[in-house]
């Protein structure tokens, strides 16, 4: 049986947070353990270049994302971990695919749409501050996914539109030249689709409402204690579904813990206690990885070596697919 190819990427734009872990890293790591699954996880550094023009910060954040994957359990023998910019074939494919991507399709992509909507609201030119990198973001993402014939792409719900765009581009290509590109499926875990941030909106580095994964214990506790709550007295029953503290608890708890916690809310729990329990749950889950993360960040040579080996494994696959694509479109003269 042909094995399924799983692929996902994370932008190096800061230490990954709980939303990245629950929405993307954790499901990706469990897919990687499945039989008949080959996994390829990468650091989307060219995507990060859209916003990050600070050389040393970008470098550091590439290390941070790689170290996070490894600390959280990625086995680099089984899963190929690599840096996007080490695979130049992705950029060749990016150009080819851009010739199959309707501009209208990209006009509707959510990052571009959000930028133009914001400009319109403040009466600026709609494309003010928008780079071609931001506009073409989904095409590069399609190249990331299609160059390796990905079957499954584990992501948070916010990325589903991008996978749909990749599917659309691949189908247009196949329609023109015959079956060449595999059509990927997004893999979104319902309960992990959207992890709320400290303020209740989607957890995101760009909203600065995130829980970074490897904060020292004390800082982690302090951050969790700051989650805004109302002034309901401790003994008053609380609706868990209305509480951000509970929603965060839900992302890591097992069914038993969840039932117990639900009961406590219904019987009345103080917010301080509820937050303490959330802190303990997160801390217990992340403490072992925190140590491995610190070791790796003190030993960057190991990270460089793993990324180099990853690129060596992936590049021949990229070269093969590109060769086939070029033959299909008539660029390889015979
Ligand atoms: P950010 O929004 O903080 O910049 P990224 O865009 O780098 O995060 O996201 C990397 C991966 O993590 C993507 O698969 C994305 O869907 C997932 N992800 C990010 N934030 C969340 C969240 N709050 N809930 C679930 N998944 C998320
Ligand atoms: N766009 C994704 C994000 O913001 C990162 C990413 C880039 C990605 N290329 C990808 C995710 C390919 C999955 C597959 O999180």
- Atom number of ligand 2 nearest to Cα 10: 5
* Alpha carbon of 166 to ligand 2 centroid (Å): 11
Q: How far is CA 118 from CA 4, 152, 175, 208, 245, in A?
A: 40, 33, 36, 19, 30
| Mean predicted lDDT score pLDDT of the chain | 96
Query: What mean pLDDT comes out for the span 25-30?
Result: 96
Among 94-98, 240-244, 309-313, the range scoring the smallest mean pLDDT is: 240-244
Query: What mean pLDDT comes out for the span 170-192?
Result: 94
The first and second tokens of residue 247, run together, are 């929603």
Residue 181's pLDDT is 98
Residue 261's pLDDT is 95
Query: What mean pLDDT comes out for the span 48-63?
Result: 97
- Atom number of ligand 2 nearest to Cα 7: 14
Tell me if residue 120 is catalytic.
Answer: yes
Q: Looking at ligand 2, which residue's alpha carbon is closest to its atom 14?
A: 8
Name the burial class of residue 319, with classes exposed (0-12), middle (13-18) and buried (19+) by CB atoms within 10 angstroms of its CB.
middle
pLDDT-derived band at 153 (thresholds 50, 70, 90) equals very high
For the stretch 93-147, pLDDT in tens is 999 999 999 999 999 999 999 999 999 999 999 999 999 999 999 999 999 999 9
Q: Looking at ligand 1, which residue's alpha carbon is closest to its atom 8?
A: 204
For residues 93-122, one letter each, b for 16 or more C-beta atoms within 10 angstroms of the residue's C-beta and e for the rest, the string is bbebbbebbeeebbeebeebeebbeebeee
Tell me if residue 205 is catalytic.
Answer: yes
Q: Looking at ligand 2, which residue's alpha carbon is closest to its atom 13?
A: 8
Query: What mean pLDDT comes out for the span 220-233?
Result: 93
Question: Using a 6 Å cutoff on CB, does residue 323 contact ligand 1?
Answer: no
Measured CA to CA, the distance from residue 192 to residue 23 in angstroms comes to: 5
Superfamily classification of domain 4-194+300-329: HUPs (3.40.50.620)
Residue 191's pLDDT is 73
Query: What mean pLDDT comes out for the span 12-25?
Result: 93
Query: What mean pLDDT comes out for the span 58-78?
Result: 98
Instruction: Give kind and range of the element (H or E) at residue 92.
Output: helix 89-98
Report the Cα 24 to chain-centroid distance in Å.
5
Residue 189's pLDDT is 86
Question: In DSSP terms, which residues pair with 80 in a beta bridge?
Answer: 40
Q: Looking at ligand 2, which residue's alpha carbon is closest to its atom 10?
A: 9
Residue 316's pLDDT is 98
Query: What mean pLDDT comes out for the span 254-281?
Result: 95
Angle at 6 between CA 156 and CA 64, to 5 degrees: 60
**3-state DSSP assignment of residue 127:** coil
Of 33, 34, 113, 120, the catalytic one is 120
Which ligand is closest in space to the CA of residue 157? Answer: 1
pTM of this prediction? 0.95
Tell me if residue 218 is catalytic.
Answer: no
Sorted by where each begins, the domain ranges of the chain are 4-194+300-329, 214-293
**3-state DSSP assignment of residue 181:** coil
For the stretch 38-47, pLDDT in tens is 999 999 999 9
Which ligand is closest in space to the CA of residue 201? Answer: 1
pLDDT-derived band at 2 (thresholds 50, 70, 90) equals confident
Residue 192's pLDDT is 74
- Residue 321 DSSP symbol: H
Residue 1's pLDDT is 77
Residue 31's pLDDT is 96
Question: Using a 6 Å cutoff on CB, does residue 208 contact ligand 1?
Answer: no
Query: What mean pLDDT comes out for the span 213-221?
Result: 96
Q: What phi, psi does 188 have (nearest 5°)?
A: -120, 120
At the topology level, CATH places domain 214-293 in Tyrosyl-Transfer RNA Synthetase (1.10.240)
pLDDT at 204 over 80: yes
Measured CA to CA, the distance from residue 106 to residue 248 in angstroms comes to: 33
Residue 190's pLDDT is 81
> Could you tell me if 103 and 138 are in contact, meaning their C-beta atoms sit under 8 angstroms apart?
no
Which ligand is closest in space to the CA of residue 195? Answer: 1
pLDDT-derived band at 310 (thresholds 50, 70, 90) equals very high
């Amino acid at each position: 049986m042909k094995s399924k190819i799983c692929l996902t990427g994370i932008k190096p734009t800061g230490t990954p947070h709980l939303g990245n872990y629950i929405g993307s890293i954790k499901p990706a790591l469990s897919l990687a353990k499945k039989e008949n699954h080959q996994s390829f996880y990468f650091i989307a550094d060219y995507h990060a270049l859209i916003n990050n023009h600070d050389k040393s910060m970008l470098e550091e954040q590439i290390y941070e994302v790689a170290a996070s994957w490894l600390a959280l359990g990625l086995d680099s023998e089984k899963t190929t971990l690599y840096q996007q910019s080490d695979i130049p074939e992705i950029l060749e494919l990016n150009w080819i695919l851009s010739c199959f991507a309707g501009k209208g399709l990209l006009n509707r992509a959510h990052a571009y749409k959000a930028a133009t909507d914001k400009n319109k609201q403040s009466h600026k030119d709609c494309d003010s501050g928008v780079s071609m990198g931001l506009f073409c973001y989904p095409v590069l993402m399609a190249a990331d996914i299609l160059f390796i014939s990905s079957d499954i792409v584990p992501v948070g719900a916010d990325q589903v539109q991008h996978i749909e765009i990749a599917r659309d581009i691949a189908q247009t290509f196949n329609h023109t030249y015959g079956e060449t590109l595999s059509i990927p499926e997004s893999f979104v875990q319902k309960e992990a689709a959207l992890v709320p941030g400290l303020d209740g909106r989607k957890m995101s580095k760009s909203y600065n409402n995130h829980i970074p994964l490897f904060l020292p214990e004390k800082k982690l506790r302090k951050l969790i204690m700051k989650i805004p709550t109302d002034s309901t007295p401790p003994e008053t029953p609380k609706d868990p579904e209305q509480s951000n503290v509970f929603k965060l608890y839900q992302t890591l708890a097992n069914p038993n813990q969840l039932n117990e916690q639900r009961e406590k809310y219904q019987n009345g729990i103080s917010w301080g206690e509820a937050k303490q329990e959330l802190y303990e749950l997160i801390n217990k889950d992340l403490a072992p990885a925190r140590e491995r993360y610190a070791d790796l960040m003190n030993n960057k040579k190991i990270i460089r070596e793993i990324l180099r080996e990853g690129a060596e494994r992936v590049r021949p696959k990229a070269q093969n697919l590109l060769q086939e694509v070029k033959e299909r479109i008539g660029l390889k003269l015979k």
